[in-house]
Amino acid sequence: MHILEASVLSTILLLFIFFDVRRYPLPKQDKGSRFFAELAVTYTCFLVLNIMLHGASQNLFRLGLWEARILWALHVLSIPFLLTLWVHFSLINVAEDTRQVSRFSTLLVLPLVLFAFLVFADLPVQQFYPATPFFTYIWTTPGSSYLFILSSFLCLVMLISPLWNLKTLQGSKPFLAFLLPFTLSIALATFRITHELTLFVTVNSFMLVLNYLVVHRDAVVLDDLTNLSMGPLLQRRLIKAFRNRSQYSLLLVDVENFRLFNSRHGRNTGDRMLQELAAYLKTMPYNQEAFRLKDDRFCLLLHQASSALECAGQLQRRMEDPWQLGEETVYLSLHLLVIHIPEQASSFDELMYIIEQMLQQVKTQQSTSLLVYDANILKVHQHRLDIISALREAIRRPEQVQVYYQPIHDNKTGALSGAEALMRIQNNHLGFLQPDQFIPIAEQTGLIRDLTFIVLDRVCALLGRHPKVRQSIQSISVNLSAEDFTNALLAHDLLEHIQAQGIAEHLISFEITESMIIQSHDTVKQVMHTLSSYGIQFALDDFGSGYSNFSMLMDLPLHTIKFDKQMILKSPESPQLLALLSSMLHALGKTITAEGVACKEEALMVQALMIDRVQGYYYSEPLAEDRFLSLFANCAGCPVLNDI
């Protein structure tokens, strides 16, 4: 094959790559892609120069003296320039450490710059690398020796770097990394012997196509486990969609707590579950493409906004039913996100940011939940982040935590029998935060564990400082969260905090909810038994708002049952039921507290129901520490309510 034909053929190959890149753009931030693009452009220049010089040597057109010299100089220069880019490209694929690459780059650019200087300085003199009339290569010139030595050196670097990083090379990378210097060296040796660049041109084209297919079209490689396309292909599709402003909807599917699924059912079942899910996604009856982005995260790319929601609905319904994996029957929960482009994200980077924020938000929700993007989501998320930092700050500076005390009264005598400690946070930026603004977030982030102890310490300090409070009340109750029970030393730590301040244990009681007991029954039971043996009492909070499971109450050392406000409100509808419940609980030896008693009618109602204790706005709202203490200021014994 003649050099001209080889160059034309190579140009055609490059054109194919170019069209393919137009269809599936290379990832922008990727350094490998950048070097590849530079390489392809330089090689194209090299080919064009080649074709022009050979055209001129065949007398297809005429070149002036200086034009010929400049073209020749550029052509000669493009050879080591191309090789240097190959070195960079191979380094970035082999080392992936950009520092290593830039260190080499500086080293390699120096002889190239010197060569360029000599070639251009030689233009008028024509001693270093003279342009021959028929553009043939003469090996006796100092320039050609320099070129050969430099090229050999570059091939050597291309060979050494993969050898150096051999251990870390995976897949087809070592093959490509060694094939490149090997074939280029043969091409250069042939060039030196035959004075023909044909093989060099062919090798360059061949390696470019091979690298493009293997390194850059890796996106077309399917995921081994699920046979779905992977993230890079989606990325290219999206970049192209943004460029053309095409409309798509993305449905992101994230398996909830997949790590837990794996540890509960084993990795094999986990893998089978992902395969089943992937197969299900692939066959969903909407015009869509499915991708596996990473371990337990999938994405559907849909052409119509409405079908994203339909898909999400179908997935939600499917998750209500179990999956049969061989012998095992398992349930799966998903987090689903829907976002439309280009209306809701105008660039790929923005889309990634939004998805990340939405994922963090949807993860705070439970079981198969759907989050459809709207502009508020980012605001809500930002607010959540603000709350998290306020919580962290409050833990660092506990003076920002304020404890309010809501009195609990004896329903017969009106005497103050105790109080519930309720937390608030005073933050410099966000102001005064109520529990419903921060407790759920503190629980999701685990920060509640520290906050619980801050509240407990504060309550103990109050009891320690004020003997009158100690003498007047039975106990002050502190709320516990399910998250607190993830601390294996919870009972020990709670006791330690109480005893550290020399407070009699029975002065503290703890409130827990049914859902906590259901979540970690054995741990809760163990903690309750340990603390009960020290005289600490437990109250079941919010009874009547959840499952109201009696067997649970029998099993645990619960002293008090706190009827949720809802129970009291419902009492006119079913007074016998509530009366029966009260007498049953009394028969079981439980004390009943009515919560949220807000008006006189409700107060009268709880009196009729023979409820032992009352708490609510009607008697008192939660009070800041000084106001709570003032209740004890003017009375000799225990403060008593007069106006019930």
Q: Which is nearer to ligand C2E, 161 or 481 (CB)?
A: 481
Select from ligand C2E, Ca ion, none the partner in contact with residue 434, using the beta carbon and a kind-dependent cut-off of 5 to 8 Å.
Answer: ligand C2E
For residue 431, list its beta bridge partners: 427
Smallest gap, in angstroms, from Cβ of residue 496 to Ca ion?
23
With CB under 6 A, what is the number of residues at the site for ligand C2E? 23
Smallest gap, in angstroms, from Cβ of residue 499 to ligand C2E?
20
- With vertex at residue 217, the alpha carbon angle to CA 215 and CA 220, rounded to the nearest 5 degrees, is 130
Distance spanning both ends of the chain, measured CA to CA: 108
Q: Which is nearer to Ca ion, 122 or 541 (CB)?
A: 541
Crossing angle for the helix pair 448-465 and 376-396, to the nearest 10 degrees: 40
Which of 588, 595, 576 is CA-nearest to residue 513?
595
Crossing angle for the helix pair 521-532 and 490-500, to the nearest 10 degrees: 30
Q: Which is nearer to ligand C2E, 212 or 404 (CB)?
A: 404
The binding track of 174-213 with respect to Ca ion, each residue x by CB under 5 A or -, is ----------------------------------------
Q: Which is nearer to ligand C2E, 83 or 422 (CB)?
A: 422
Of these, 596, 609, 614, 632, which contacts ligand C2E (CB under 6 A)?
596
560 belongs to the binding site for ligand C2E (CB under 6 A): no
Q: What is the DSSP string of 169-193?
A: --TTHHHHHHHHHHHHHHHHHHHHH
In angstroms, the CA 642 to CA 415 distance is 9
Select from Ca ion, ligand C2E, none the partner in contact with residue 602, using the beta carbon and a kind-dependent cut-off of 5 to 8 Å.
Answer: none
432 belongs to the binding site for ligand C2E (CB under 6 A): no
Smallest gap, in angstroms, from Cβ of residue 248 to ligand C2E?
42
Using CB under 5 A as the binding rule, the residues of this chain from 508 to 527 that contact Ca ion are 511
CA–CA distances in Å: residue 617 to residues 416, 597, 599, 625, 644: 14, 6, 8, 17, 12
517 belongs to the binding site for ligand C2E (CB under 6 A): no
In angstroms, the CA 302 to CA 213 distance is 27
For residue 369, list its beta bridge partners: 335
Smallest gap, in angstroms, from Cβ of residue 511 to Ca ion?
4
Smallest gap, in angstroms, from Cβ of residue 622 to ligand C2E?
5
Q: Is residue 616 helix, strand or coil?
A: coil
Could you tell me which residues come within 8 angstroms of residue 402 by beta carbon, excluding any fewer than 6 positions away? Answer: 423, 424, 425, 426, 624, 625
Cβ(562)–Cβ(540) below 8 Å: yes
Using CB under 5 A as the binding rule, the residues of this chain from 576 to 595 that contact Ca ion are 595
CA–CA distances in Å: residue 613 to residues 5, 89, 413, 571, 585: 98, 77, 10, 16, 14
509 belongs to the binding site for ligand C2E (CB under 6 A): no
In angstroms, the CA 375 to CA 627 distance is 43
In angstroms, the CA 288 to CA 302 distance is 5
Smallest gap, in angstroms, from Cβ of residue 421 to Ca ion?
9
In angstroms, the CA 26 to CA 17 distance is 11
Find the part of the chain contacting ligand C2E (CB under 6 A) among 41-49, 197-205, 318-326, 615-623: 615-623
In angstroms, the CA 17 to CA 465 distance is 80
483 belongs to the binding site for Ca ion (CB under 5 A): no
Smallest gap, in angstroms, from Cβ of residue 350 to ligand C2E?
36
Smallest gap, in angstroms, from Cβ of residue 632 to ligand C2E?
20
Find the part of the chain contacting ligand C2E (CB under 6 A) among 158-166, 173-181, 259-267, 592-600: 592-600
Q: Which is nearer to ligand C2E, 505 or 595 (CB)?
A: 595
With CB under 5 A, what is the number of residues at the site for Ca ion? 5
In angstroms, the CA 564 to CA 566 distance is 5
The binding track of 526-545 with respect to Ca ion, each residue x by CB under 5 A or -, is ---------------xx---
400 belongs to the binding site for ligand C2E (CB under 6 A): no
Binding region for Ca ion (CB under 5 A):
479, 511, 541-542, 595
Binding region for ligand C2E (CB under 6 A):
406, 422-423, 434-436, 439, 448, 452, 455, 479-481, 511, 541-542, 565, 596-598, 616-617, 622
